[in-house]
Structure 1
Amino acid sequence: MIKIARKNLAVIPTIFAVVFLLLQVFCDLYLPTITADLIDKGVINHDLAYIKHEGIMMLLVSLVGLVAAALNTFFASTQAMSVGRKLRKQVFDKVMRFSNKEISELGDSSLITRSTNDVVQVQTVMFQTLRMMLQSPIMMIAAIVLAYHRESKLTMIFLISLPVLAVTVVIVMSQAVPLFRSIQKKTDRINLVFREGLTGVRVIRAFNQDEREQNRFNTVNEDYTETGIKAFTWVAFLFPTMTLILSLTNVAIIWYGAHLIANQTMQVGNLISFLTYAVQILFSFMMLAMVFVFVPRGVASARRINEVLDYEVAVKDPKPSEQLRLTSKAPRLQFDHVNFRYQGAEKLSLNNCDFEVTSGQTLAIIGGTGSGKSTLVNLIERLFDPESGQIKINGMPIKRLSQHDLHTLVSITQQKAVLFAGTIRSNMQFGYPNASDEEIWHVLEVAQARDFVEEAGGLDAIVEQDGANFSGGQRQRLAIARTIIKPASIYIFDDSFSALDFKTDAKLRQALKADSKLKDAVKVIVAQRVSTVADADLILVLEDGELLGKGDHQSLKANNQTYREIIASQIQKGVTTNA
């Protein structure tokens, strides 16, 4: 928490918040003194002029205290919200630099919770710090000193009430704090189950598992609810207990004070001011106790946020002095004996992968599910780094390039076509912000998407979240169009033809081959159909991470057993027609 405050709180506004807080405390503490003088010197002596003077003074002090409290609240709240804004940006920026490794380790649901709920908890603690957490101890200590100065005999009552209050607070905190800490982890679990249910709602309905998922959500929801009820029950127990102690303390002060007044050893005004100080002391103690009940939850959230911000990123840019710059416009992609395994895996996901493709050539990758096709293309983008070997572009290791420069060179259609809420135009301009309408229509035509885009209403047609208002094939074609509109040297299509029919698949590949923009680029196509890869310049045959063959269609068909088996299986299923 201190680390977050030091990095994100602005110095000048924070000083203003503290200054106005001190001014508010001074006014609150000065009022009982004015009240005591008004009673002892004005009311008892029937001095109306003095009463009027002190009354005006009370109004002025109250007004100053009110303005100070408002300004303190303003600066405290703006700083707390500013910290939240900065933290959300920092977390988002850090997550954007994460590789797939870090995202899978932390989990999507947990990252969402940390950037939302956890940030809110930290905001709350920041606000409470600049308000109650600073105000309560200052008020309590100052009130004790002034109360002792007014009437030292009555302060003996606090030797009983304050320890009782402290014991009560310790008991409540020892029970509530662990519960508040566990609530954050249970929030992660609720987000996970809810997110899976939301994204998988069609699957759930298709398999008639509505009741099972409802029971699953109810289980985590009830667990969260029960924990919350227990935590807030302990907190709720604190208020009536402290109110009872406060009331008994006031009764004891009045009873003992009445005896002192009767014995003429204390004035009435001192009793009134002492009662006010007693209320301020006990109320400050109560507020401080409440703050410390919620602080552990904020501290737990701060730790979770710092865990993200301090998380070691696996894929890093080289130092500026070590970075290389690509100068040649003719791309050349090379895998030099690359090995890769996922964290914790015993077996290599790619074993001794070695090939090279040059400008204008098409590289195709074929193989069964889990053979390592997507892993290979993810390595080109440096979503992971290989365990050994090197990946080079134009003879330069991509580890020596900044990720920004590398991603400028590469344009990719992912295995799952992702569209963003907006319009057709905004989705195309996501790939190339300066794209004109003419360029967008051209790439839509190349991607065989022009017809259905025109039917949908043109470039201003609405795209719902995840492209839910388009079919799977239409989403793939829009994603392909977004890929090829970006000026790049290497274009990657990761199994992005799978939802297309044979006719559309063939037309799209012919259009890609004929397009002048892609003529000199390296094209990487990942597919499972032989018909999709048959006209590629170089075909890689993968199986269980092993590169079992490489060559063109005819040479592999003649010499590679695995490739022939793929052809045979697809002919039997009627999948391929031109092999």
Structure 2
Amino acid sequence: MLKIARGRISLWAVLGAVFFMIIQVIANLNLPSLTSDIVNNGVAKGDISYIWKIGFEMIGFSLLSVAAAVLNVLLAARSSQKLGQNLRSDIYSKVMNFANDEFNKVETSSLITRTTNDVVQIQNVAMIALRMMIMAPIMLIGASFLAYNKSHQLSWIFVVSIPVLLICIGLIMGLAIPRFRAMQTKTDRLNLVFREGLTGVRVIRAFRQDQFEQDRFETANQDYTDNSIKVNTIVAFAYPVMTLIMSATNVAIVWFGGQLISSQAMQVGNMIAFMTYAMQVLMSFMMLAMVMAFLPRAAASATRIQEVLSLDSSIKDPEQPITPAAGEAKQLAFNNVEFRYRHAEQPALSGIDFSAKAGQTVAIIGGTGSGKTTLVNLIPRFFDVEKGSVNVNGVDVRQQDVKTLHGEVAMVPQKATLFTGTIRDNMKFGKEDATDDEIWQALDIAQSTDFVKEEGGLDAHVEQGGANFSGGQRQRLAIARALVKDASTYVFDDSFSALDFKTDAKLRGQLRQDKRIQQSIVVIVAQRIATVADADLILVLDNGKLVGKGTHEELRQSNKVYQEIMRSQLREGEAGL
């Protein structure tokens, strides 16, 4: 926990909280002694002026204690909340820089839990540490010393009560700590099931699996609830047990202290002060027990957070990045590329070799699982190749700064993702200073102008994930967002699948005619022959291998895989078959 707190929490705020806590404890430790003085020297002797004098001193110490406590809580709260804020920011920044491999290591539901619940556990412990964890040992030492000074004859009571208290606390914590640690894993599971249920609600209803999913969630929920009940029941036993021990200690002090008073070996005021100090000693142990209850869960949370923060992205900037020369002709080249996923036995791609220049359209076609998406993911360097190289504008992508590379590539992924806000906000993702004219031009190319105007224009609201638009509309908006960006390479990863043939043809026609797009390279992944037929270069993939490349006319005459795809989509006699 100290490791993740270092650099994320203000040292001066911590020192300030510690300082005011020490002031509070000193003030509290003085009050029992002053009470003893009032009883012994004021009440017993009938000295009213002395009582007033000590009384005012007690009021002064009380006010000092309250002021120090307020300042301590203020600094502790600000420090702990700031720590939580910094942790959340660091986790989010780290996740945003993850490569695809890192996302595969940590589930999304677990990342959400770590950013929220786990951070809250760290915040709580930071707050407790700056309050109880500091107060308890100081008060324990101070109260023990002052109690011994008041009556060393009664100090033997601590020899009995403190070990009994420690044994009880140890048993309770020994049962509770494993269950505290299990809480975070069960929270992950609960979030996972709940998130899957929300995102897949339409599929669940369509397949009439409502009851199955409810039972699945209820199982995870009941597991979490049972664990919570058990751990809280165990911890709940701590309070009556400690109260019993404290009450028994008080009885013992009064019993044996009364005997000492009757034999004139002890003053009444000293017994009252000793009793107060005894309560402070036992309360110190209770506070330490509470800290021990929170620490295991927070330690587990700290470990989970550290796992995320310590993950190094597999995609790193080179020490001396190379930037393509200004005015360099726009190029895209795959040089005998081979790539395999982590821990995979067989390569996902092998022998991929082709090149394209500005103004050309490269189309990629192949069966499901042939490696089309994997291939285009290598262009913005979402993964690194195992052999060969991928060159963008004449420079290997591994030798370029990642941010610079991403600035040169505009990509539309398979899943069209829109963000909550307005259409204008989403369009400016690729170009922050894009004008309305540029946005409308991109929307026009993407065949989106009509329905955007019907929705209310660029200020039309976009719900989470673009849920208020159809699948085809989301795809066209995602395409328009990419077209707003000034890039050297535009990648459309199966981005026309939800479009009808007429809209598909119009969109591709607009792409070919746009002068800005003509100066760039267009890469299209598609399933339809009609979508790729007019491309300058068509790549045919089969089981991760490049089994054909050329124009539509060349492939339809000589490539068996391409011919099979055509037969599956076109009736006999069409397209020359």
Same fold at TM > 0.5? yes
State yes or no: 1:490 paired with 2:489: yes
SS of the residue aligned with 1:523? strand
Residue matched to 1:145: 145
User: Given the two structures, how large is their TM-score scaled by the length of structure 1?
Assistant: 0.98
CA distance in 2, matches of 1:243, 1:517: 79
Residue matched to 2:387: 388
In structure 2, stretches of 5+ residues that fail to align are none
Residue matched to 2:397: 398
1:401-550 alignment, distance < 5 Å: 401-550=400-549
CA distance in 1, matches of 2:414, 2:96: 19
Cα shift at 1:166:
0.6
CA distance in 2, matches of 1:120, 1:325: 46
State yes or no: 1:237 paired with 2:237: yes
> Judging changes above 3 Å, is the alpha-carbon distance between structure 1 residues 222 and 326 closer, same or farther for their aligned structure 2 residues?
farther
Residue matched to 1:97: 97
Residue matched to 2:247: 247
State yes or no: 1:570 paired with 2:569: yes
Q: State the Cα deviation string for residues 373-393 of structure 1 (Å, max 9, x = none).
A: 110111111111111111111
Aligned residues: 577
- Give 2:95's aligned amino acid: V
Residue matched to 2:182: 182
CA distance in 1, matches of 2:329, 2:60: 79
- Give 1:233's aligned amino acid: T
Q: Is the 8 A contact 2:337 2:353 kept in 1?
A: yes
Q: Is the 8 A contact 1:330 1:520 kept in 2?
A: no
State yes or no: 1:362 paired with 2:374: no
CA distance in 2, matches of 1:493, 1:130: 54
Cα shift at 1:329:
4.3
Q: Is the 8 A contact 2:379 2:392 kept in 1?
A: no
Cα shift at 1:578:
9.4
CA distance in 2, matches of 1:488, 1:345: 33
Q: State the Cα deviation string for residues 269-290 of structure 1 (Å, max 9, x = none).
A: 1111111111111111111101
CA distance in 1, matches of 2:18, 2:250: 31
Q: Is the 8 A contact 2:140 2:281 kept in 1?
A: yes
- Give 1:214's aligned amino acid: Q
SS of the residue aligned with 1:315? coil
CA distance in 1, matches of 2:172, 2:542: 60
CA distance in 2, matches of 1:75, 1:400: 47
CA distance in 2, matches of 1:122, 1:30: 33
In structure 1, stretches of 5+ residues that fail to align are none
Residue matched to 1:132: 132
- Give 2:336's aligned amino acid: H
Cα shift at 1:7:
2.3
Cα shift at 1:577:
7.2
Cα shift at 1:395:
2.4
State yes or no: 1:8 paired with 2:8: yes
CA distance in 1, matches of 2:521, 2:395: 16
- Give 2:211's aligned amino acid: E
Residue matched to 1:118: 118
Cα shift at 1:522:
0.6
State yes or no: 1:78 paired with 2:78: yes
Q: Is the 8 A contact 1:113 1:188 kept in 2?
A: yes
- Give 1:340's aligned amino acid: F
> Judging changes above 3 Å, is the alpha-carbon distance between structure 1 residues 326 and 35 closer, same or farther for their aligned structure 2 residues?
farther
Q: State the Cα deviation string for residues 246-296 of structure 1 (Å, max 9, x = none).
A: 100011011111111111011111111111111111111111101101111
Q: Is the 8 A contact 1:323 1:401 kept in 2?
A: yes
Residue matched to 1:169: 169
Residue matched to 2:302: 302
Q: Is the 8 A contact 1:493 1:526 kept in 2?
A: yes
Cα shift at 1:573:
10
> Judging changes above 3 Å, is the alpha-carbon distance between structure 1 residues 368 and 192 closer, same or farther for their aligned structure 2 residues?
same
Q: Is the 8 A contact 2:322 2:395 kept in 1?
A: no
Cα shift at 1:394:
2.5
Cα shift at 1:325:
4.5
CA RMSD of aligned residues (A): 1.3
- Give 1:446's aligned amino acid: I
Q: Is the 8 A contact 1:76 1:130 kept in 2?
A: yes
Q: Is the 8 A contact 2:379 2:390 kept in 1?
A: yes
SS of the residue aligned with 2:281? helix
SS of the residue aligned with 1:347? coil
CA distance in 1, matches of 2:311, 2:572: 48
Residue matched to 1:159: 159
SS of the residue aligned with 1:8? coil
Residue matched to 1:210: 210
- Give 1:31's aligned amino acid: L
CA distance in 2, matches of 1:515, 1:398: 27
Q: State the Cα deviation string for residues 310-369 of structure 1 (Å, max 9, x = none).
A: 0121111111x3544443442111111111111122121111111111111111100111
CA distance in 1, matches of 2:328, 2:249: 84
CA distance in 2, matches of 1:404, 1:418: 21
Cα shift at 1:144:
0.5
Residue matched to 2:47: 47
- Give 2:94's aligned amino acid: K
Residue matched to 1:552: 551
CA distance in 2, matches of 1:93, 1:451: 38
- Give 2:358's aligned amino acid: S
CA distance in 2, matches of 1:578, 1:136: 88
SS of the residue aligned with 1:154? coil
- Give 1:507's aligned amino acid: K
Residue matched to 2:31: 31
Cα shift at 1:2:
1.1
User: Given the two structures, how large is their TM-score scaled by the length of structure 2?
Assistant: 0.98
Q: Is the 8 A contact 1:531 1:578 kept in 2?
A: no
- Give 2:429's aligned amino acid: F
